[in-house]
Amino acid sequence: MISLQHLHKTFSGASGAVRALDDVSIEVAERQIFGVVGQSGAGKSTLIRTVNLLERPDSGTVAVDGRDLLGLDAQGLRAARHDIGMVFQQFNLLQGRTARGNVELALEIAGVDRVERRRRAGEILDLVGLSSRADSYPAQLSGGQKQRVGIARALASNPKVLLSDEATSALDPETMRSILELIRTIRDELGLTVLLITHEMDVIKRICDSAALLESGRIVEQGRLADVITTPGSRLAADLFPLHDLPPDVSGTVVDITFSGGSADRPVIAQLARTHGFDVSILGAAIETIAGKQAGRTRLEIPGSGTAVDAAIADLRSQDLLVEVIHTPSRAAS
């Protein structure tokens, strides 16, 4: 549905050229929620704005629903943008228009008649839970309600793709969760494809099917979350399941065990202690619902090292668990 291939974008700054995108390639499948996570300055906003060509890349290709946007003329691009809705961090609502008026604006620009505009605005405001506030002005709405109006406005033209530019970062945690749930519901009910950018891993773990980590304009890791969490050395997985640093007095072999799917319910640690006779210490644990399934990571300290410990680790791996040795008594390993 969205195909970004080998994108490059450089801006001129006071201290010289700044490379915002450096050979970025992303594929977002139809009906997927794909999240791009990174810190400020990583190039996230530049990336998402290339999808509807609010930013034109210096080179590369941008295709949405099979159309090469860079090959379209001005009229063709305007038509293509009707299939791409965008939600902004700061809402970008017109203060002099009601919630209904803001939603109608995109349809008004597209030349839709007044009766149809009003019907469609009412339909979408009902979908986002704001039918009772249709005649309210932005100043009379909470932050979460303003963002719901922004989402409704993005959906007014019946797009196939929804872009979210840090849409929840200006909201409190509870409101953020409600907006994320709304985005997932909209995806399911309308069959949308969603590309979002964020600096918060909580957004990724709550609603995304796939994700990419962007640093200094480059994609350093990407994939389906179900695959990422079972990939050795994955930085995305480490951020999804944050564990504390090792205590300074650790003396045994330390392993991180990642559970996913059916393995999350098995008494793996109890079986390990019982079968191999170890007094296992739990140094940390994190459990999350990732891509709709329960998953987690547990950090264990197994006393000693050598053949007995190696056998215990082999036993764990034979159960289709991801086991990473991060410390042994003789050396640290990754």
Q: Per-residue pLDDT tens for 206-216?
A: 999 999 999 99
The pTM of this model reads 0.88
Decide if pLDDT at 104 tops 90: yes
Decide if pLDDT at 194 tops 80: yes
Query: What is the Cα–Cα distance from 28 to 33, expressed in whole angstroms?
Result: 8
Decide if pLDDT at 331 tops 80: no
Query: What is the Cα–Cα distance from 261 to 280, expressed in whole angstroms?
Result: 23
CATH class of segment(s) 2-228: alpha beta
> What mean pLDDT do residues 62-77 have?
94
CATH topology (fold) of 242-327: Alpha-Beta Plaits (3.30.70)
Decide if pLDDT at 333 tops 60: no
Query: What is the Cα–Cα distance from 217 to 214, expressed in whole angstroms?
Result: 6
Q: Name the token pair of 21.
A: 């995108």
Q: How much is the pLDDT for 89?
A: 85
pLDDT band at 334 (very low <50, low <70, confident <90, very high): very low
CA nearest neighbour of 164 among 68, 47, 258? 47
pLDDT band at 132 (very low <50, low <70, confident <90, very high): very high
Q: Name the token pair of 154.
A: 């993005």
CA nearest neighbour of 178 among 129, 107, 223? 129
Q: How much is the pLDDT for 262?
A: 62
Q: How much is the pLDDT for 26?
A: 97
Domain ranges of the chain: 2-228, 242-327
